[in-house]
């Protein structure tokens, strides 16, 4: 069932990308295609609506759709917004995978701090939508799309030929897994050196950012 869901998802996304590329001004048309795809998906798996698989599939749908829009959309600000949507869907995946602390810091660090920085820079530079997204473009552009397709195929192949693994029930694990307490214990015992090194990295990045963005160094 998961495979069917995923295949439907990929089909709808490809249809969406094609519609957007052919008729860039008609966002509504792309929306209709998407909505029809979603209705068909739900009709195909009517019992699935109460299962975790369905909601995980919806999350994956949101994640991949927003990722596509980051790349496709000509306006950098809209890309920032869709990256935020993407980060939220990945945070939901973390919740499904029982990594509640990771989900929380994903929202705080990524969506709350890093993306605000991006938003701030886009607003500060007052970037407008680019013209050259579709026209122009060298061979690199088409080559990238082809190679990306090949890369995705390679990953798909690797996943298909992975050894059989047990089916797991989401959210049915011992209580300690994924909590801040356990992660903190690991960070301050086994990975203490890496943790301290990370703090050094952060301070280096901080000083570097200040010096780079400073108007003039005296």
Partner 1 sequence: MDPTVTRVLAEASVKIALFFGVVLTVIAYMTWVERRVSAWIQDRRGPNRVGPFGLLQPLADGIKFLFKEAITPPHVYRPVYLLAPALIFIPALVTFSVVPIGPTMSLFGRRIPLLIADVDNGILIILAFASMGVYGVALAGWSSNNKYSLMGGLRSSAQLISYELAMGIAIVGVLMATGSLRLTDIVTHQITNGWNALWQLPGFLIFVTAAFAETNRLPFDLPEAETELVAGYHTEYSGMRFSMFYMAEYANMITASALATTLYLGGYHVPGLAALGLPENAAAIVQVLAFCLKVAMFLFVFVWVRWTLPRFRYDQLMNLGWKGLLPIALAHVLWVSFLVLGGRA
Partner 2 sequence: MRVEFFLLVAALLFTIGCVGVLVRRNAIVILMCIELMLNAVNLTFAAFAHESQSMAGHVFVFFVMTVAAAEAAVGLAIVIALFRRRRTTDVDDASLMRW
Quick one: tokens of 67?
Answer: 């990722």
Alpha-carbon dihedral of residues 174, 178, 183, 186, nearest 10 degrees? Answer: 50
Binding test (CB under 8 A) with partner 2, winner from 27, 32, 156, 196: 156
Contact track, partner 1, 160-179, x by CB under 8 A: -------------------x
Tally the residues of the chain: 218
Based on C-alpha coordinates, what's the Rg of the chain? 21
Quick one: tokens of 8?
Answer: 């439907």
- Contacts with partner 2 in 17-36 (CB under 8 A)? none
Binding test (CB under 8 A) with partner 2, winner from 38, 42, 98, 107: 98
Contact track, partner 2, 122-151, x by CB under 8 A: x-xx-x--x-xx---x--xx-xxx-xx--x
The number of angstroms, rounded, from the C-alpha of 168 to the middle of its chain's C-alpha atoms is: 23
With left for phi above 0 and alpha for psi between -120 and 50, is residue 163 left, alpha or beta?
beta
Contact track, partner 1, 32-71, x by CB under 8 A: ----------------------------------------
Question: What CA–CA distance (Å, rounded) separates 62 from 58?
Answer: 6
Q: Which residues contact partner 1 (rule: CB under 8 A)?
A: 77-78, 81, 84, 100-101, 104-105, 107-108, 111-113, 116-117, 119-120, 122-124, 126, 179-180
């Amino acid at each position: 069932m998961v495979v069917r869901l995923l295949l439907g998802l990929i089909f709808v996304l490809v249809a969406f990308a094609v519609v957007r590329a052919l008729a860039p001004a008609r966002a509504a048309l792309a929306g209709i295609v998407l909505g029809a795809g979603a209705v068909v998906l739900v009709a195909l798996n009517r019992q699935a609506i109460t299962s975790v698989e369905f909601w995980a599939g919806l999350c994956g749908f949101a994640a991949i759709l927003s990722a596509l829009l980051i790349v496709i959309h000509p306006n950098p600000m809209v890309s920032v917004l869709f990256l935020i949507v993407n980060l939220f869907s990945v945070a939901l995946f973390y919740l499904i995978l029982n990594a509640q602390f990771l989900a929380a810091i994903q929202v705080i660090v990524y969506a709350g701090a890093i993306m605000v920085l991006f938003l701030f820079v886009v607003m500060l530079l007052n970037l407008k939508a680019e013209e050259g997204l579709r026209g122009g473009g060298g061979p690199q552009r088409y080559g990238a799309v082809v190679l990306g397709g090949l890369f995705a195929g390679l990953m798909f192949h690797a996943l298909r030929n992975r050894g059989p693994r047990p089916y797991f029930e989401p959210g049915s694990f011992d209580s300690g897994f994924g909590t801040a307490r356990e992660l903190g214990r690991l960070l301050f015992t086994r990975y203490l050196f890496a943790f301290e090194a990370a703090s050094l990295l952060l301070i280096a990045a901080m000083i570097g950012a200040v010096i780079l963005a400073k108007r003039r160094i005296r």
